[in-house]
Amino acid sequence: MTEATYPRDYSLIGRDAKRAIGEGLANAQWYAAPIARARLKELMRRSDGPAIRDTLIWIAAFGATAGLAIYLWPSWWSVPFFLVYGILYGSSTDSRWHECGHGTAFKTRWMNDTIYQLACFMIMRAPTIWRWSHTRHHTDTIIVGRDPEISVMRPTVILKLIATYFAIPQTIAAFKHMFIHISGRLTPDEMTYVPEMERARVYLIAHIWLAIHFSVIAISLYLHSWLPVLLVGPLPTMYGAWVHVMTGQTQHGGLAEDVLDHRLNSRTVLMNPVLRFIYWNMNYHVEHHMFPMVPYHKLPKLYEEMKPFCPPANTSLFDAYREIIPAWLKQRKDPSYCIPRQLPEGTMAMICPIATE
C-alpha cells in the first residue's frame, strides 16, 4: 500500500476516496473469526420477545419521566426528570436507530421499521440517508474517503469533539441537510451512497420533519411555554446526547484507519446493565461489525465465542477512555498515530486487501 498523505481527505469524493479504491480498500474482504456455522446460525436466529420487552420498558420510562417533568414544571424538581427523559430521547434512540436499521432487533419487519422511524426523528438522523450511510460504514469501516460515519477526523479538533457530546455539530448538520433535502437535492457525499430510487423518500421525510419541528415551536409560542420544545425536537436531542456520544466514541475512538480487520479499528467495552439497556449492547462492537446479523440480545454470547480470536475487551468505560483521550490528544499533532491492538497469539491481523474470489 502507498503511504497516506496528511491531512487526510475524509470527503467521499476526494483524494482519499480515489486512494481507497485504488488500493483495494473499498468493498474489500475482511477478517472474520472462525465461528462454526451451526453456532452462528443459533446466534443469528431472530425473535421478537427481547426487543418487545425492552421497548415496553423504554416507552414506560419515556411516559414516566415526561409525566413527572411536566407535573413538576416549572419547579427545579423537574430538572432530574428532564435529564433522564433527555437521555432516553437523545441517547437511547441511537441504539434503537442502529439495531432496527439493521433489522435485527425484532423478528417482525414492521416493528423494526416503526421504531427505526421514531428513533431517527428523535436523534435527528434522516432515515433513508442514514440507512445508506450505515450500509457504507459496514462495507468500508473507518476507510478514509469511503466511510461517511467517521466521527473524529484527524488531526483531532478538541473543541469540536467536546461539542459533539451536546450534539451541537450534529444538530446544525441535521437542519442544514433538511433544508438541502427539501429543495430536492442531496449533498455530493450523499449522492455517492444513496441510490436514485431512494431519493424521493429523503425529500418527503425532510418536509414532514420540518413541518413537525415548526409546529412544536408554534405550539410553544401559542402556549407561552417552554414545555413542548423541551420535550420534542432538537433541544432534547441535544441535552440528552451526551450518553450516546460517551458510549459511541468508544466504538472506534483512537483506533486504526484503513485496515480490513475490525479487531484493529473497533473496540469492545464491558459495561453495566443500565448502559447496556440504553445502548442495546453495542458495546460489543467488534462482534457486531464482524457478524452484523446477530441481534443485540445475543451479542454477549457472541462475545464469548469470539474471545479466543480478539484482543482483550476494555474492562470499563473508564478503561476505554484511559486509552482514547491520550490518543485523541496525540492525534492533534500526529494524525498517523493509532492505538495498537494486541491480537491473540496465533491469529494474524488483516491489514491489506487480498485477492477476492
Q: Which three cell numbers stand for residue 262?
A: 475490525
Our CB check for another protein shows the closer of 291 and 321 to be 291
Our CB check for another protein shows the closer of 4 and 26 to be 26
Our CB check for another protein shows the closer of 27 and 151 to be 27
User: What does the DSSP 8-state code read for residue 268?
Assistant: B
What is the residue-wise DSSP string for 4-25? PPSS---STTSHHHHHHHHTT-
Q: Which residue ranges make up the site for another protein (CB under 8 A)? A: 27, 41, 44-46, 102-104, 107, 128, 131-132, 135, 138-139, 195, 197-198, 291-293, 357
Our CB check for another protein shows the closer of 19 and 289 to be 289
Find how far residue 147's CA is from the centre of its chain. Answer: 12
Whole-number minimum distance, CB 236 to another protein, in Å?
28
Whole-number minimum distance, CB 135 to another protein, in Å?
5
Whole-number minimum distance, CB 294 to another protein, in Å?
10
Whole-number minimum distance, CB 38 to another protein, in Å?
8
Distance CA 213, CA 305 (A): 45
Our CB check for another protein shows the closer of 19 and 102 to be 102
Whole-number minimum distance, CB 131 to another protein, in Å?
6
Q: Which three cell numbers stand for residue 293?
A: 446479523
Whole-number minimum distance, CB 46 to another protein, in Å?
7
Q: What are phi and psi of 139, to 5 degrees?
A: -70, -45
Our CB check for another protein shows the closer of 102 and 154 to be 102
Distance CA 58, CA 106 (A): 15
Our CB check for another protein shows the closer of 103 and 248 to be 103
Distance CA 138, CA 85 (A): 30
Whole-number minimum distance, CB 293 to another protein, in Å?
6
Whole-number minimum distance, CB 339 to another protein, in Å?
26
Q: Which three cell numbers stand for residue 99?
A: 439495531
Our CB check for another protein shows the closer of 21 and 44 to be 44
In order of 118, 225, 232, the CA distances from 218 in angstroms are 21, 10, 12
When computed from its CA atoms, the radius of gyration of the chain, rounded to whole angstroms, is 21
Classify burial at 348, counting beta carbons within 10 Å of its beta carbon; exposed 0-12, middle 13-18, buried 19 or more.
Answer: exposed
Our CB check for another protein shows the closer of 292 and 308 to be 292
In order of 47, 129, 186, 206, 272, the CA distances from 190 in angstroms are 33, 7, 6, 14, 36
Whole-number minimum distance, CB 334 to another protein, in Å?
33
H helical segments located in 224-316:
227-231, 234-239, 242-248, 262-265, 273-279, 285-290, 299-306
DSSP strands (E only) in the chain: none
Classify burial at 27, counting beta carbons within 10 Å of its beta carbon; exposed 0-12, middle 13-18, buried 19 or more.
Answer: middle
Q: Which three cell numbers stand for residue 267?
A: 473496540
